[in-house]
Amino acid sequence: MLLDAFWSEALWLPPNVTWSDVAPGPGPGKAVLYTDHRHLWLTVPMALILLVLRFVLNKYIFAPFGKALGIKHDDRSIKVRPNNKLEAAYKANSASKQICALAKQLDMSERQVQLWWRRRRQQDKPSALVKFRESCWRATFYLYNLVFGWMVLWNKEWLWDVDYCYIGYPHQGVTNDIWWYYMVALGFYLSQTLLLYGDVRRKDFWQQVVHHAATLLMISISWVCNFHRIGSLVMLSHDGSETLLEATKATKYAGYHRASDYMFAAFTALWIVTRIGIYSYFILGSVTFRAAAYIPPFPMFQVLVFLGWVLLALNVYWTWLILQVAYRAIKHGQVDGDIRSSSSEVSDSSATNAPNRDRQIVI
């Protein structure tokens, strides 16, 4: 009963359209291949394949490359002396609230407890090489997806006129290239979601959680609703800036600060043009206002519109953080902020460049 209610035609499809009208396979009277919601399960093995590929590239390509560039695997030279009570408080994230009590219990000064706390936190920070590998992997995938997306969409009419995302809907066929574009991208976002707690954790962690959840839902729902045309535009509009973002990070971790500054400037411009300009005006604006001229409203379409606005809200939030980094870069003559995060932790690379320690901040 609940399953029938979940797959209600009134929920997923426009009025007067039934599941039989958009059943997977050729459409009535013409060669239209509709999307098949069962194919979404294929993204699970796709995610596992990408995780294996990531492991192989990290171990045999990115790590050796980073070491060749002089990036240290573990540049945290200060180790704390084991202390069970302080360790327990640290893991409970309560040491900062119990400094006075801990100092009395352990016959230590408050300064000593604070110093132990800072050094213990420093030990848990990932090395520059770990962050370099993560950025290299993401940059590699986003570059692939960007190039493949342009190849797939270049000859598609809806790339040049967004109205074609709605004209003839829902009787819009899905081609093999769009199928692969969707499945690989969804598999990647699923793999990234699975690794959220394992990768380097930044201060915008929960914003990343919301972003990943919204992205997975948007791609999945648009696939089930056969609304893949607008979904492909959303993915394409985001991949370019992500590629430059991760390349900028990797370059900075490698110590090429001047190059990373130039790349950051290019990234900032591309981010604003694609995520604030193209995405908000041409894509989200079109879905919110223009689509009504072609598609009668139905619940899942409204959910897609809502998720689109969630992504825009996150883009605006991150744009504000990026502009803050840009301002500090102009003020100090060097990128000194955590791009797309509010972190202000000292970069691992700054340990090798003491005169600039106050300006080297983790990306």
Residue 15 is given by DSSP the state T
pLDDT at site 286 = 95
Are 95 and 238 in the same domain?
no
Residue 55 has pLDDT above 80, yes or no: yes
Partners of residue 25 on adjacent β-strands: 34
Residue 91 has pLDDT above 70, yes or no: no
Residue 234 has pLDDT above 80, yes or no: yes
Are 259 and 224 in the same domain?
yes
Look at 164 and 355; give whichever has higher pLDDT: 164
Identify the band that residue 94 occupies on the pLDDT scale cut at 50, 70 and 90: low
Are 149 and 292 in the same domain?
yes
Range of the structural domain that residue 105 is part of: 84-124
Question: pLDDT, tens digit, for every residue of 4-16?
Answer: 889 999 999 999 9
Residue 254 has pLDDT above 90, yes or no: yes
* CA angle, residues 328, 332, 335, in degrees to nearest 5: 60
Spell out a b/e string for 181-214, using b for 16 or more CB atoms within 10 Å of the CB, else e. bbbbbbbbbbbbbeeeeebeebebeebbeebbeb
- What average pLDDT does range 203-218 have in this prediction? 86
Are 169 and 271 in the same domain?
yes
The count of structural domains within the chain is 2
Are 282 and 245 in the same domain?
yes
Are 169 and 91 in the same domain?
no
Last residue in a domain, options 61, 94, 124: 124
Residue 26 in domain: yes
pLDDT at site 351 = 30
Residue 6 in domain: no
SS3 (DSSP) at 25:
strand
Are 113 and 139 in the same domain?
no
Are 287 and 180 in the same domain?
yes
- What average pLDDT does range 301-323 have in this prediction? 95
Are 88 and 184 in the same domain?
no
| Residues 363 and 339: beta-carbon distance below 8 Å | yes
pLDDT at site 262 = 93
Q: Which residue has the tokens 């803050």?
A: 324
Least confident of 29-33, 253-257, 320-324: 29-33
Residue 205 in domain: yes
Q: Long-range contacts for 77-83 (Cβ within 8 Å, ≥24 apart)?
A: 77/351, 78/119, 78/122, 78/123, 79/119, 79/123, 80/116, 80/119, 80/120, 80/123, 81/116, 83/116
pLDDT at site 128 = 87
Burial (0-12, 13-18, 19+ Cβ within 10 Å), 281? exposed
Tell me the pLDDT of the chain averaged across its residues. 83
What whole-number percentage of the chain has pLDDT above 70?
Answer: 80
pLDDT at site 96 = 56
Are 94 and 50 in the same domain?
no
Residue 10 in domain: no
Are 115 and 243 in the same domain?
no
pLDDT at site 332 = 73
Look at 239 and 338; give whichever has higher pLDDT: 239
Are 228 and 120 in the same domain?
no
Residue 330 in domain: yes
* CA angle, residues 301, 303, 305, in degrees to nearest 5: 75
Look at 74 and 290; give whichever has higher pLDDT: 290
Residue 2 in domain: no
Least confident of 14-18, 23-27, 147-151, 246-250: 23-27
Identify the band that residue 201 occupies on the pLDDT scale cut at 50, 70 and 90: low
